[in-house]
C-alpha cells in the first residue's frame, strides 16, 4: 500500500485560518441571532473601485471576441504587467524579467519551498505567517514537532517580540540556508527600518544564506524612511528574493494575483542562478495567473487605478488607527497598527486561544490567537483592520464593554 508522506504526519491540527473559521461557525450555530464581526483573517472587505472593475469587465468582454480572446499566456505573467510592476512599484530598481506574476504569495511560498527542496534549512521569525513553517514541514525541511518547545525541530525560530523591538538577535542565530522575513510584519505589524534590513542582508551575506523577503503588506508603509522593498537596501540583490501580492494592496484576496522578484545576481553555490530554477519550477508546476485577473492587476497600476488603490489602503489604515486607539485606551499593550494593517495586543494573564475564545464568545468578535503564528505569539492576539468602518467601530465598542 502507499505510505503516507511522513512529513504531513508531522503537522499539528489544521492550517490556522480554517481552524478559526470552524470555531467561528460553532459560535454562530450556538448563537444564531448574534452578529459576528471579523477582525480575524486579513481579508479585504471593500468593493473594488470603478476603474478596476471596468478593466476587469473589459477583459471579460474581450474574451468573448475573436480579437480579444486569449489562451495560455507565459507562466511568468504578461509582459506588460511585469513591466508595470517593475516600473510603478519598484521605480525601476528591479527589471521586468526579474518579476514573476503568480496567483498569490501563499502559492509562491509553496513553490519556492519545492524549488529549494527537502535539504534546505530554514529560519523564520517567531511569530510568523504559518505557511513558512507548515510548508517547510510538508516539504521535509524540518524535523518533527517538539511538544515541549511548541516548535518543530530543525527550524530556527527567530524570536521577535517587544523585548527586542520585533527584530531578531542575529548574533545568536545559527546559519540556515533560508531566512524568511516579513515586513510590515504579519502578525505583529512591526516594520523593519533600512538599518535593520541592512543588518539582515549583511548577516545573510556573511552566512551565504538566501533571504526570502515577504513584502505582502508593503503598500501600507507611508513613512518614506521605511523601505517598501528589500531591493531598496544595498547589497540585497546577491542575497534576497521577494514575494508580494495584490491581495492586501488592491483588495484582490479573492481575485488572486501576486508576484515574486528573483534578481539575476542571486545564485546557488554551484553558480546556477536561482532565477533559472525558479523559472523551471514556475513553468513546470504552474500555468500562470488568470488572464482576466492580470488585466485587473494592470488597471490597479495605472495612475488612476493606483490612486484608487491608495484610497482603499487609507481606509483600512484609518480602521487600524481606530482599533489601536481603543485597545490602547483600554490599557492594553499594543504594537503595530502604523504602516501596517495589523494591531498586536498582549492579553495580560491569558493564553492567546483563551483570549480568542473569550472575545469571540463574549463580544462576538473574531480575532486571531497569537499562538497560531508560533510560540512567541502566545499571550497575544492579532486584530486585523480589514472590515467595514461601521463594523470596526461596533467591534471596538464591544471590546471596550467586554474587555475594558
The reply to whether 28 sits near a second copy by the rule CB under 8 A is no
CA neighbor of 11 nearest in space, from 137, 187, 192, 180 = 137
Task: Closer to a second copy by CB, 115 or 233: give it.
Answer: 115
CB of 359 to a second copy, least distance (A): 21
Assess 178 for contact with a second copy (CB under 8 A): yes
Q: Which is nearer to a second copy, 9 or 162 (CB)?
A: 9
Does 291 interact with a second copy (rule: CB under 8 A)? yes
Instruction: Determine if 249 is a binding residue for a second copy (CB under 8 A).
Output: no
**String of contacts with a second copy for each residue 317-336, x by CB under 8 A:** --------------------
Q: Which of 37, 44, 355, 376 is close enough to bind a second copy by CB under 8 A?
A: 44
- What lies within 8 Å, CB to CB, of 2 at 6+ separation is none
Of 44-52, 84-92, 181-189, 219-227, the segment contacting a second copy by CB under 8 A is 44-52
Query: Reduced to 3 DSSP states, what percent helix, strand and coil does the chain have, rounded to the nearest 5?
Result: 45, 15, 40
Residues 260-279 that bind a second copy (CB under 8 A): 268-270, 272, 277
- Nearest CA among 201, 268, 203, 233 for reference residue 90: 233
Q: Rule CB under 8 A: say whether 63 interacts with a second copy.
A: yes
Nearest partner of 313 among 246, 230, 260, judged by Cα: 246
Please report, in angstroms and rounded to a whole number, the separation of the first and last CA atoms in the chain: 57
CB of 17 to a second copy, least distance (A): 8
- The residue from 28, 43, 88, 361 that contacts a second copy (CB under 8 A) is 43
**Closer CB to a second copy, 3 or 303, in the complex:** 3
Residues 50, 53, 54, 57: what is their CA dihedral angle, to the nearest 10 degrees?
-160
* Region of 37-45, 160-168, 320-328, 354-362 interacting with a second copy (CB under 8 A): 37-45
CB closer to a second copy, 247 vs 346: 247
Give me the phi and psi of 78, to 5 degrees please: -70, 140
Verify binding: residue 53, a second copy, rule CB under 8 A.
yes
Q: Are 24 and 36 in contact (CB under 8 A)?
A: yes
Under rule CB under 8 A, which residues in 71-130 are in contact with a second copy? 71-73, 75, 103-104, 106-107, 109-111, 114-120, 130
Q: Does 143 bind a second copy (CB under 8 A)?
A: no
Look-up of cell digits 556573511 = 206
Q: Which stretch binds a second copy (CB under 8 A): 1-9, 22-30, 92-100, 376-384?
A: 1-9
Query: What does the DSSP 8-state code read for residue 177?
Result: S
Query: Cβ neighbours of residue 400 under 8 Å, at least 6 residues apart?
Result: 326, 329, 330
Q: How far apart are CA 18 and CA 14, in angstroms?
A: 7
Collapse the DSSP code of 159 into the 3-class scheme (helix H, G, I; strand E, B; otherwise coil) and give the result. strand
Q: Cβ 61 to a second copy, closest distance in Å? A: 6
Q: In angstroms, give the least distance from the CB of 16 to a second copy.
A: 9
Residue 384 binding a second copy, by CB under 8 A: no
User: Is residue 155 involved in binding a second copy (CB under 8 A)?
Assistant: no
- Near a second copy by CB under 8 A: residue from 31, 164, 284, 307: 284
- Concatenating the DSSP letter of every residue in 234-285 gives TTGGGTEEEEEESHHHHT-TTT--EEEE--TT-B-TTS-BHHHHHHHHHHHH
Amino acid at each position: 500500500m502507499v505510505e503516507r508522506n511522513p512529513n504531513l504526519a508531522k503537522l499539528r491540527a489544521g492550517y490556522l485560518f480554517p481552524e478559526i473559521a470552524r470555531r467561528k461557525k460553532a459560535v454562530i450555530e450556538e448563537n444564531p441571532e448574534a452578529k459576528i464581526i471579523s477582525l480575524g483573517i486579513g481579508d479585504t472587505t471593500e468593493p473594488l473601485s470603478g476603474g478596476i472593475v471596468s478593466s476587469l469587465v473589459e477583459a471579460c468582454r474581450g474574451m468573448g471576441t475573436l480579437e480579444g480572446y486569449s489562451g495560455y499566456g507565459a507562466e511568468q505573467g504578461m509582459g506588460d504587467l511585469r513591466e508595470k510592476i517593475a516600473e510603478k512599484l519598484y521605480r525601476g530598481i528591479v527589471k521586468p524579467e526579474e518579476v514573476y506574476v503568480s496567483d498569490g504569495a501563499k502559492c509562491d511560498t509553496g513553490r519556492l519551498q519545492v524549488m529549494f527542496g527537502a535539504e534546505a534549512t530554514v529560519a523564520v521569525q517567531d511569530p510568523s505567517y504559518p505557511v513558512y513553517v507548515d510548508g517547510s514541514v510538508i516539504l521535509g525541511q524540518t524535523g518533527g514537532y517538539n511538544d515541549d518547545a511548541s516548535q518543530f525541530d530543525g527550524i530556527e525560530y527567530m524570536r521577535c517580540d517587544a523585548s527586542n523591538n520585533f527584530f531578531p538577535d542575529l548574533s545568536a542565530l545559527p546559519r540556515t540556508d533560508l531566512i524568511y522575513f516579513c515586513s510590515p510584519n504579519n502578525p505583529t505589524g512591526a516594520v523593519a527600518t533600512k538599518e535593520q534590513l541592512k543588518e539582515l542582508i549583511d548577516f545573510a551575506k556573511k552566512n551565504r544564506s538566501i533571504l526570502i523577503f515577504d513584502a505582502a503588506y508593503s503598500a501600507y508603509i507611508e513613512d518614506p524612511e521605511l523601505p517598501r522593498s528589500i531591493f531598496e537596501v544595498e547589497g540585497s540583490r546577491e542575497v534576497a528574493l521577494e514575494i508580494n501580492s495584490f491581495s492586501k494592496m488592491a483588495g484582490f484576496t479573492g481575485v488572486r494575483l501576486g508576484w515574486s522578484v528573483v534578481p539575476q545576481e542571486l545564485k546557488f553555490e554551484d553558480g546556477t542562478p536561482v532565477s533559472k530554477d525558479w523559472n523551471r519550477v514556475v513553468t513546470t508546476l504552474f500555468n500562470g495567473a488568470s488572464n482576466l485577473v492580470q488585466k485587473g492587476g494592470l488597471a490597479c497600476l495605472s495612475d488612476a487605478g493606483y490612486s484608487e488603490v491608495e484610497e482603499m489602503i487609507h481606509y483600512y489604515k484609518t480602521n487600524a488607527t481606530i482599533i489601536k486607539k481603543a485597545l490602547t485606551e483600554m490599557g492594553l499593550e499594543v504594537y503595530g497598527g502604523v504602516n501596517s494593517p495589523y494591531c498586536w495586543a498582549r492579553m495580560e494573564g491569558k493564553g492567546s486561544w483563551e483570549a480568542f475564545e473569550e472575545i469571540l464568545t463574549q463580544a462576538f468578535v473574531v480575532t486571531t490567537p497569537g499562538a497560531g503564528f508560533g510560540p512567541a505569539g502566545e499571550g497575544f492576539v492579532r486584530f486585523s483592520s480589514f472590515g467595514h468602518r461601521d463594523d470596526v467601530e461596533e467591534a471596538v465598542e464591544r471590546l471596550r464593554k467586554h474587555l475594558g
